[in-house]
Amino acid sequence: MTATNTSRTIACVGEAMVELNITNTAQQIAFAGDVLNTAIYLSRGLDAASKVEFVSVLGQDPLSAEMERFIRREGVGTTRIRHHDTRLPGIYSIAVDAEGERSFSYWRDQSAARSLFEDGFGQLDGADLIYLSGITLAILPQERRLALLDHLQHHPARIAFDSNYRPKLWEDQATARRMTESAWRICDIALPSVDDEMLLFGDQDDEAVLMRLRSYGLRNGALKRGARGPRPIDPNLPSPILPQATKVVDTTAAGDSFNGAWMASTLGNCDPATALKLAHEQATRVIAHKGAIVPLSKGSAAFEGERN
């Protein structure tokens, strides 16, 4: 059963890429990206009155066209996608070790998504909630990052953010730290991962991360801690004890699926403890299967099925 929500438009802003999964026996092509993954899992949890729209730039090539069809098939709107005349989507290859941990190689320096918002921020008009990540910021030139953050600060929509720190995408750590802190200070919903925050800001543990985030005025959201389970950002809410995953095949999109399920639950008026539980359960199901997007038949009972 899907969550029941008031009509709203959620704009998910980021880069979708072509995924190459190369094994000893086959080569598979898929489409993924941190924000796109979240958009798909979020869309699965909302009723038909609410719309999830992917905001990005693709090319004019056959892979871009197939990617756009894939996005629509997954229930995410594509009307806010722009198309670049000459640039192509980024590509990455993925390898997964015996413990399910993944490593990536990227070809994205000239991707179409890096031209996002070159013509202004009209793609965000009318959105009630805007979700983006640290990767969204990292692929933009600095002048456009600053303009985007300024635009978001004055936008009437609520802002949700996941820092998703990828050092190789940034010019340097100092820039990444400044931009990420700026994003935290203007967002309404915080969905960070503890490892990213500790790596970027040098925090020693969960408590240090939470204290810093709360010092920015953040209270709404969850700190993802992998197998240890999430903790609420709000210090007045208890941290639930949740079961660890019993099967880990591929940790790709664990955090992305958590974000989507958490936002869907919260927008559907679930209480904070239930939202954390449902999001954690979604993430544990996702990591039990290969690939970022789990087919609906294998997804959470709370987030699968036809949209109402």
Catalytic (active-site) positions: 256
Lookup: tokens for 108:
């994205």
Contact status, residue 103 vs residue 94, Cβ threshold 8 Å: yes
Lookup: tokens for 191:
């969905």
Question: Helix (H, G, I), strand (E, B), or coil: what is residue 179?
Answer: helix
Strands across the sheet with 27-32, in order? Answer: 27-32, 17-22, 91-96, 102-107
Lookup: tokens for 241:
């004890």
Question: Helix (H, G, I), strand (E, B), or coil: what is residue 81?
Answer: strand
Type of residue found at 208: A
Alpha-carbon distance values, 151 to 106, 135, 137, 159 (Å): 29, 18, 13, 11
CA gap 239, 276 in Å, rounded: 9
Please give the backbone phi and psi of residue 276, each rounded to the nearest 5 degrees, phi first.
-65, -40
Q: Which residues contact 179 (CB under 8 A, 6 or more apart)?
A: 134, 137, 145, 149
Q: Long-range CB contacts (< 8 A, 24+ apart) of 115-118? A: 115/57, 115/84, 115/87, 116/13, 116/15, 116/55, 116/56, 116/57, 116/82, 116/140, 116/144, 117/144, 117/147, 117/148, 118/144
